[in-house]
Structures are given as C-alpha cells and as structure tokens.
Amino acid sequence: MFFQKTLLVLTQGWYGQRIALNLRKRLLNWKIFVYGFPRNLPDFVEEPETLLPRWVPQSSLILSLGEHPAIALLLPSLAKKVRAKAVITPIDNSKWVPPAVKNEVLEELKNLGVASVFPKPFCSLKEDSNSELINEFAEKFGRPKLKISLKNGLVVGVEVLRGAPCGSTHFVAERLLNVEASKAPTKASLLVQTYPCLASRQRDVEYGDSLIHVAGYILRSSILEALRESF
C-alpha cells in the first residue's frame, strides 16, 4: 500500500492508545507512527524537552494525546524536529492542556509556520481548518456524521460517514439497529458515555458542563440531523 501522508500519534495512557488503535483500523491510507510517553510524570516537569525522544520519524501531521501539560509544551520543538506541517491537540481534559499552555503552544507553532487546532472535545473537530492535512484527517474523524435508514419507524441501518476518533460512533451505530427513531438520539447520547467516553467528567469552565456530557450532546445532535435527512 502506498502511503501519501504520515501521522505521528503521541500517547501516554489508555486514552491515547485507544484512539491510536482506532485510527490504525480505519485510516488505511496514512502511515501511522505511535510514540508513548511515560505514564507517570511529576506534576511539574522542569525541563520538558528532556522528554523528547532521541529519534522519531518525519511526519506530516502530529496528533498529541498526552495527559500532561509538559507534553503539549513539547509540540513546537517536536514539530520542528519531525518537519510537521500541522498539529492536532485535542482537549478532552482541560488539566492536560490548560488555556495558558494552549495559547503558548498555539503562538509558537504559528511562528514556526505550523498549522494547529485544539478541538474541545476531540469529537467536535470539523473540516474548517486552513490546513489541508487537518481537513483531510477531519474528513474521517471528528464530529460524527451518519446516514440512517428507517423502516416503519425503526432504525434499520446506520452508516458512519465520519466517526469520533475514539471509535464510539461505530460502537453506538451497531447498537441503534431496531431502535425506535424517536428514541435513537437519547439512546445514542447514553451509549457514548458507556463506551466509555474518556473525556473529563469535571465541569469545564468554558462550557459550564462536563466534556463527557458535551460529547453526548454532539452525538445526539448528529443523530437528529441524520434522522431529519432520512425522512
């Protein structure tokens, strides 16, 4: 298989590993590299650059799934090292990428000429970036997009056109078959939490709600949109 694009996925635990597994399963035309950082890092890392791997392959796009602010702070140096053109840094927990860290990384990447997005939560990612690389990734992964078939008021088919990066959209789609159309949105938002969604359960200041609830609302909205188009 010929790979036109390369993706470097940074993980630190099951949150990132699960996403990486789903990407490898479904993003077949990309060459995917995964680098895992140590699981247990101190609250404060005095010199984050000491965490940089000695060697990593050149990659067009970096996906940062670290669970510590120090990993986000490494992104400008790492992007320069691997000659990345774009970086995606999801915020599924604001403790991992606090606002001040996000702003610092965003500015440094901008100065390097590297495009970046910080979808919050990850399943809110859309194809609205100035980066073709990010948009190409977002064609397959991000805000769920589905096609639903109905018969006699029941869901008889669900096609995932774009799924949440963690794989929850496909999980939910399989469990909506034979569900009443009127009950599908609520059932979907509950199913995504039991997948389980690994977004934070803590109240997020920006949303005024937990990110796990926001993820449920996003999927519910996507289901409602698909149902409207099915009639």
Right CATH number for 5-140 from 3.40.50.720, 3.30.70.380, 3.10.20.30, 3.90.600.10?
A: 3.40.50.720
Query: Percentage of residues in the chain with pLDDT exceeding 70?
Result: 98
Which residues, including other chains, have CB under 8 Å from residue 70's CB and lie 6 or more apart? Answer: 41, 45, 48, 51
More confident position, 168 or 49: 168
100-157 pLDDT per residue, tens: 999 999 999 999 999 999 999 999 999 999 999 999 999 999 999 999 999 999 999 9
Question: Could you tell me which of 221, 190, 205, 164 has the C-alpha nearest to residue 22?
Answer: 164
Q: How many CA atoms lie within 13 A of 29 on its CB side?
A: 6
> Cα 192 to the chain's mean position, in Å?
14
pTM of the predicted structure, to 2 decimals? 0.94
Which residues, including other chains, have CB under 8 Å from residue 228's CB and lie 6 or more apart? Answer: none
The CA distance from 135 to 207, in Å, is 24
Confidence of residue 223 (pLDDT cuts 50, 70, 90): very high
Q: The tokens of 51 are what?
A: 């965490």
Question: Could you tell me which of 43, 28, 42, 104 has the C-alpha nearest to residue 72?
Answer: 104
The domains of the chain are located at 5-140, 145-230
* pLDDT in the model for residue 2: 47
Q: Which CATH topology does 145-230 take?
A: Enolase-like; domain 1 (3.30.390)
Q: How confident is the model over 42-51, as a mean pLDDT?
A: 74
Check residue 38 and report its DSSP letter. P
Question: Could you tell me which of 163, 159, 117 has the C-alpha nearest to residue 140?
Answer: 163
4-35 pLDDT per residue, tens: 789 999 999 999 999 999 999 998 889 999 99
Three-state SS for 140?
helix
3-state helix, strand, coil in the chain (%, to 5): 40, 20, 40
Which residues, including other chains, have CB under 8 Å from residue 111's CB and lie 6 or more apart? Answer: none
2 phi and psi angles, rounded to 5 deg: -90, 125
Mean pLDDT of the chain: 94
